[in-house]
């Protein structure tokens, strides 16, 4: 004789049989319930993750539309970088002086016979130009002065003009416009004529703090 199960004793043979047919077996109903709960938990986790990703993407897209295309965590570093670029201390301004090299040969061959400098001044300032010449290799203190005093305006900006550089020489120390004339010059580093009596000359702009001769 087959011993009745606990299910058959408690709920009756017919009810227990229908339950067994529906679940497949009455021996492990708690295991099937646990599996169902696990499946539900996994489904909830996946749904939460999908919802979270959609929410984050929507928020980033809204910020990009309203604030020029950068998400919040990138906007602050970019603003700080722009502030550093505009800061006066970010880039040092190089102040340049004009260096003139005088040569004994017409083609500027060999080392220069004399060097002299025109230090920078205020824009439009009238300069008294009596070249204080030094002999390369003669050491500090070995200077001579040009034969005459010249007046005019000389700047690196005017010498480097794309349409053609020039110096402005004037007949008097006031540099009145009617007494001044612009004289074209060769390009930077090229050989040209000298207006101090040498056979040839060239010019270039150098940092003022590199000069070793006193003012």
> Containing domain of residue 48, as a range?
6-86
77 and 169 fall within a common domain: no
56 and 158 fall within a common domain: no
- Domain count for the chain: 2
The pLDDT assigned to 144 comes to 67
The pLDDT assigned to 135 comes to 76
The pLDDT assigned to 188 comes to 96
100 and 26 fall within a common domain: no
44 and 68 fall within a common domain: yes
Q: For residue 50, tell me if it sits in a domain.
A: yes
153 and 76 fall within a common domain: no
Q: For residue 215, tell me if it sits in a domain.
A: no
* Domain final residue, candidates 49, 65, 86: 86
**pTM of the entire predicted model:** 0.53
58 and 81 fall within a common domain: yes
Q: Write out residues in the chain with pLDDT < 50, as ranges.
A: 1-2, 5-17, 19-28, 30, 63-65, 72-77, 79, 81, 83, 215
201 and 130 fall within a common domain: yes
The pLDDT assigned to 11 comes to 45
The pLDDT tens digits of the residues spanning 146-188 come to 667 889 999 999 999 999 999 999 999 889 999 999 999 999 9
- The whole-angstrom separation of Cα 131 and Cα 195 is 11
Q: Determine phi and psi for 109, rounding to 5 degrees.
A: -80, 150
113 and 205 fall within a common domain: yes
Q: Determine phi and psi for 70, rounding to 5 degrees.
A: -115, 135
* Domain final residue, candidates 86, 105, 140: 86
123 and 49 fall within a common domain: no
The pLDDT assigned to 190 comes to 96
74 and 121 fall within a common domain: no
- The whole-angstrom separation of Cα 104 and Cα 65 is 69
């Amino acid at each position: 004789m087959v011993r009745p199960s606990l299910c058959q004793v408690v709920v009756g043979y017919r009810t227990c049989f229908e339950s067994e047919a529906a679940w497949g077996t009455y021996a492990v109903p708690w295991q099937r319930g646990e599996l169902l709960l696990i499946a539900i938990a996994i489904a909830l986790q996946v749904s939460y993750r999908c919802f979270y990703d959609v929410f984050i993407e929507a928020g980033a897209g809204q910020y990009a539309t309203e604030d020029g295309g950068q998400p919040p965590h990138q906007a602050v570093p970019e603003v700080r970088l722009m502030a550093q670029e505009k800061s006066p201390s970010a880039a040092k301004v190089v102040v340049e002086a004009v260096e003139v090299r005088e040569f004994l040969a017409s083609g500027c061959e060999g080392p220069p016979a004399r060097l002299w400098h025109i230090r920078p001044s205020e824009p439009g300032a009238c300069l008294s130009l009596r070249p204080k010449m030094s002999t390369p290799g003669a050491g500090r203190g070995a200077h001579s002065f040009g034969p005459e005093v010249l007046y005019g305006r000389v700047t690196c900006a005017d010498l480097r003009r794309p349409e053609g550089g020039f110096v402005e020489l004037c007949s008097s120390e006031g540099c009145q416009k009617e007494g001044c004339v612009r004289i074209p010059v060769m390009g930077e580093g090229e050989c040209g004529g000298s207006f101090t009596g040498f056979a040839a000359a060239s010019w270039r702009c150098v940092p003022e703090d590199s000069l070793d001769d006193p003012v």
